[in-house]
Amino acid sequence: MENNANLLTPLELLQRRHSVRAYSEAPVPPVLLNKLKATVTMINTHQHGLKFQIITDDPEPMKAFSRSYGSFTNPRNYMAAVVDTAVENVYERAGYFAEQFAIKAVEIGLGTCFVGGTFNSGKVKAQLRAGEKVAFIVLFGFPLGKEKILAKLTVKFAHRKTMTAADFFEPTEEAAQAMTMFPDLKLGLEGIACAPSSLNKRPVRVVLKGTGENVVPCAKVEEVTPTNLVDLGIAKFNYNYATTTECAWGNGASLVD
């Protein structure tokens, strides 16, 4: 699987990710787990306020939710996105680096699903210090291959790809012209188009800011809530990953700093 994934372009790898809600009983072997742990260590070392933690073989946080939104089967491995809530832009950055984690998991042949609401945060086996909380978790494991009917319906409902890359640009009617001005923009918007978002609301839009030679694409959400900021960070990661760029932090900040 990994060799296979190595042949994909960054955008193709982003597009390969989809939410997996049914997992096999097979444990994730140490060789793969170590790759995920290395990714998390790198993130925690460099990112102030993020304390991501990998927990395996622990079904407790998802126990009461097997019949809820999405209906999960055998969810027992997860990355707990622990954040220090006092740190600036921490929800956005948690989304950004959790998506980096998810794409690493996809690259090594695993399935993932962000879970923001339907889990019991009190049961998450993460170490928390004062001021820290579990913003969300990212499940991971080998996909079961066959999803429950309810999960299938959710996927069908949630995975509507009715939005095109241009729909993520504002104003949409100027997207085509903007894409000719900025060759990377199309690729970046296609990255955003396949980004996961809470309840598939896809709240992130790209706008151009500045004048003359200083015009840059920026990403924003209309309503500033922790959930939307997580979605903002995820979308920014996808834009940057698809186009090999780096963003600035903050709602409405540049995607290509």
Distance CA 233, CA 247 (A): 10
Cβ of residue 116: shortest distance to ligand FMN, in angstroms? 3
CB 85 within 8 A of CB 16: no
**Nearer Cβ to ligand FMN, position 26 or 199?**
199
Q: Which residue type sits at 218?
A: C
Distance CA 195, CA 231 (A): 8
Nearest residue to ligand FMN on Cβ basis:
70
CB 182 within 8 A of CB 193: no
Residues that bind ligand FMN (CB under 6 A): 18-19, 21, 69-70, 113-118, 136, 158-159, 196-200, 230-231, 234
**Nearer Cβ to ligand FMN, position 49 or 116?**
116
Cβ of residue 198: shortest distance to ligand FMN, in angstroms? 4
| Cα torsion 139, 142, 143, 146: sign | negative
Cβ of residue 214: shortest distance to ligand FMN, in angstroms? 32
**Nearer Cβ to ligand FMN, position 70 or 182?**
70
Residues paired with 78 in a beta bridge: 55, 139
Cβ of residue 163: shortest distance to ligand FMN, in angstroms? 11
**Nearer Cβ to ligand FMN, position 125 or 159?**
159
Cβ of residue 223: shortest distance to ligand FMN, in angstroms? 14
Distance CA 139, CA 17 (A): 13
Tokens of 7: 């042949």
